[in-house]
Each structure stands twice: as structure tokens, then as C-alpha cells.
Amino acid sequence: MDQVQHKFVQVQGLKHHVAEIGAGPKVVVFLHGFPEIWYSWRHQMICLAGAGFRAIAPDYRGYGLSDPPPVPEKTTFGDLISDLLAILDFLEITKVVLVAKDFGAKPAYMLALLHPDRVLGVVTMGVPFIPPGPSQYQKHLPEGFYISRWREPGRAEADFGRLDAKRRKILQRMEPCTRSQGFQTALQVPYRSLDEDLNITEPVVEAPALLIMGDKDYVFKFPGMEDYIKSGKVKEFVPDLDIIYLPEGSHFVQEQSPDEVNQLILTFLNTRIWS
């Protein structure tokens, strides 16, 4: 971990925290999910750097050590995409492979659609490509499911507000690392921006892609999701997609099985991108 370098990039009016390790022209950018920050990619970053790649992992605006936006309630997925482009331009990086987890799959794939000249390939874990706009998968979630609750302004805030004295005492000890961010931006993106329309008329990703799914990932329980992935319907939107299932994998496969995931990423990079 000591090899990982940390810097702050001032773009889009905010100070963005970026973790980085490795050097060279082969650049892999890691996009975290919820409730995560760059640190969730530490195993993959160190491995790829040792294999000759440059690994970069930003904290999204309002996450980790990055500045929160002035009005968190107005944050969009479009902001995350613009932030990423601005960070790459600041670092003078023209082309990358994106590795994303959970809701990070959305900005990864949307960047590949909106700026195909910048994206050489996409790897996602836990979430496949989902066409932009209103999603049938969120519409049919069970009543009371946390995503449905957190999409409603005030519901998540009420959930987190029900803390007993013991929990409050624990959180007070964490105050220095939580005070600057709060939780507002993380509720807005992803949960309250899931139906965002990015004006994409032809949602077909041409770049090579890899989807890594744990067989025990709770995402498979979303109505229609298992059929969408396992029937191959997802390949209507990502034709050049390989799908790999990890029998014991959960939603956090990159931390649960880092060695296996590292090898899958390396194989993809060395055979599909830089062969």
C-alpha cells in the first residue's frame, strides 16, 4: 500500500482525490461502487502495477477525500462522467481501459458510448450494462427494498437518523473522516439519479468488455436481471462481451477473491486490449 501515490486534481470546480500506482502508456482506471471509495481497488491496482500497467482510481465527487459538490442534491451521473474526462485531460491521458464495480458500471459504459475514442475496453463487476433511462429492474423491486426507499428524498435520511446512543458514540469517533462529506452526494448518485437521460440514442458499446459476476451476488435477485445476463440479452447492447461467473462470488468479488479477479483482469488486458 505504501507504493500507492495520492494526489488532488482541481477540475470542474472541485478538488478530486486520485490514487495512482505504476507507470507507462497502458492505463487502467478503476471506478468504485457504493458504499466504497478508491481503496476497494487496492488489490487490483497493486497487481496491475506489478504487471506493467498504470493504475488510477479516483474518488467520485462527494466520496472519500474528494470535495463534495456545492449542491449535492443536483449531482448527476453526467457530472461523474465530466469529472472523469477532466481528470484524464489534466493527467494528459488519452485512452484508458475502465474497470468498474456496482453503480460504477454506469459511468464506465456511458463514457464508452459518449466518448468511444477514449475507451479501449470495459470490465465491470456486479452490474452489467443497463440501457440509459428508466429501468424495468428498478421498477419491479420488492416493496421496502433499500434502493426503492433511498430513492425517495428523506427516507434514507430518516433510516440513518434512527441511531441509538451506542451507535452515535461510534460515529462520533469517526467524525473527522465523515464530517466533510456527509452522505448526501452518495444518496443522489447513484440512487436518486438512476433514471437520468444522457441523450444516448444508440446504446451499443463497441469496445471489448468483460463482466465478472459472483453466482451469489444479490443483483441476480433483481427482477429479470438473471435472465438478462444469463440469456445473453445483455450482448444486444455489448456485442463483444465475455461473461465469467465465480461460483462462490458475492457482490464484492474484487475483495472477496482478489487473486482470481486480478488474473481475470490481466487476461482480458493482455489478450483483448494489448495483445
Residue 193 pLDDT: 60
Check pLDDT > 60 for residue 181.
no
244-266: average pLDDT: 98
Which region among 33-42, 104-113, 146-155 has the lowest average model confidence (pLDDT)? 146-155
Do residues 17 and 10 touch, judged by C-beta distance below 8 A?
no
Active site residue 102: yes
Check pLDDT > 80 for residue 166.
no
Annotated active-site residue in 59, 79, 102, 217: 102
CATH code at 242? Answer: 3.40.50.1820
The residues, any chain, with a CB within 8 Å of residue 31's CB and separated by 6 or more, are 57, 58, 60, 84, 98, 99, 100, 101, 104, 107, 108
Annotated active-site residue in 60, 63, 191, 228: 191
The residues, any chain, with a CB within 8 Å of residue 28's CB and separated by 6 or more, are 48, 53, 54, 55, 56, 96, 97, 98, 99, 265, 269
Q: 153: exposed, middle or buried (C-beta count within 10 Å: 0-12, 13-18, 19+)?
A: exposed
C-alpha cell at 156: 434514507
Do residues 9 and 93 touch, judged by C-beta distance below 8 A?
no
Q: Which domain holds residue 63?
A: 5-273
Residue 146 pLDDT: 63
Active site residue 195: no
Residue 73 pLDDT: 82
239-253: average pLDDT: 97
- Name the more confident of 203 and 196: 203
Q: Per residue in 22-52, pLDDT tens?
A: 999 999 999 999 889 999 999 999 999 999 9
Residue 187 pLDDT: 65
Active site residue 191: yes
C-alpha cell at 195: 433514471
> How many domains are contained in the chain?
1
Going by C-alpha positions, the residue among 8, 157, 9, 1 that lies closest to residue 73 is 157
d(CA 194, CA 153): 14
- Global pTM? 0.89
As a whole-number percent, the residues of the chain with pLDDT over 70 amount to: 77
